[in-house]
Amino acid sequence: MFLKGLNFLRKTRRRQLDKFARYEDYDIGHMANLLDIIKHISEMTYEESCFINGIIRYFKPQKLLEIGVSQGGSSCVILNAIKDRPKAKCHSVDWSDDLYTDRTRKTGWKAKEMFPDNPQWYLHTGVDIAEIIEDNIGGSIELLLLDTVHLHPAETLGFLSVFPYLTNDAIVILHDVNLAFFWIDWELIREEIPAYATTILLNSIVADKTTLNSFYEDFKHPNIAAFQINADTRRYISDVFRSLFMPWGMKVHERIISATEKLIKDKYSADLFELYERSVQQNRRHQENRERIKKC
């Protein structure tokens, strides 16, 4: 048994994720009041925002979690999508208190402005998800939106921290699954950035999957995807742990390493905990060697 001590919500949703469905077209009229925000604030395209809206409107999750907030563009999409269901709640989590592109603004400022004092929204900043999920959020999460730094292993660690708290048929949405090519082809970027994190997670997870049905002409693949948890996801979760042995594209803060270690030790089997520990050790050594070579 790979997972232990979990309190899953034992239910099966009547609606299952359909890889042929056009979720971006579902209840699209509900997005009309967000056009200006998406155009000027959101870091997603209109079609990507509609994909999120459609999934939420179709599956009607009661408890949602967003990791990666920035200005709050996607938070606005989520809150708008659940506004007619007052019992639905969204927790949004971001490592930074301040907006990463403008330190004079606070993370989530646009969502706070558009949805002031919203009782459906809980914003947690300056923390990692592994530090707060047990005490501040809890289980029975039916939808997860992952959109953080995109450097491996950020999204994978985030997902593994949340996985024990997801329902048996939860939907997970991953943004920027094709971001690496975007970075490379931007004229102002002169250095290749290994923004593969969501792609690695999407390709290592065993689940029913779907993507947006459109993409930029130059990039040949959609930049947003979703998958639905099933029995095989739990059975083969070790594949996600093994993806941690790919070289990490970032130095993970020790707070995150420690909090994730505690959570994995508590929620997963000893074998999976050992995989996590070994991946941390290997990547620390790899990063030390990388720094040594740079100094030569």
pLDDT digits (tens, 9 = 90+) for 146-168: 999 999 999 999 999 999 999 99
- In angstroms, the CA 296 to CA 292 distance is 7
Lookup: tokens for 125: 């900043």
Lookup: tokens for 173: 């949405």
Neighbours of 190 (CB within 10 A): 6
The pLDDT value recorded for residue 187 is 53
Helix (H/G/I), strand (E/B), else coil: 81: helix
The pLDDT value recorded for residue 1 is 40
> Is the pTM above the cut of 0.75?
yes
Are 54 and 81 within 8 A, CB to CB?
no
The pLDDT value recorded for residue 195 is 85
Helix (H/G/I), strand (E/B), else coil: 61: coil
**Residue (of 88, 35, 59, 24) closest to 223 by Cα position:** 24
Domains of the chain: 23-295 (3.40.50.150)
The pLDDT value recorded for residue 177 is 86
Task: Bin 70: left if φ > 0, else alpha if -120 < ψ < 50, else beta.
Answer: left
Query: Burial of 11 by CB count in 10 Å (0-12 exposed, 13-18 middle, 19+ buried)?
Result: exposed
- Cα dist from 14 to 7, 58, 129, 153, 268, whole Å: 21, 11, 29, 33, 28
> What order do you get walking across the sheet with 224-228 strand by strand?
121-125, 89-94, 63-67, 141-146, 166-175, 224-228, 208-211
- In angstroms, the CA 82 to CA 90 distance is 9
Task: Bin 253: left if φ > 0, else alpha if -120 < ψ < 50, else beta.
Answer: beta
The pLDDT value recorded for residue 218 is 57
Q: Which residues of the chain have pLDDT under 50?
A: 1-2, 5-12, 185
Residue linked to tokens 């039916």: 142
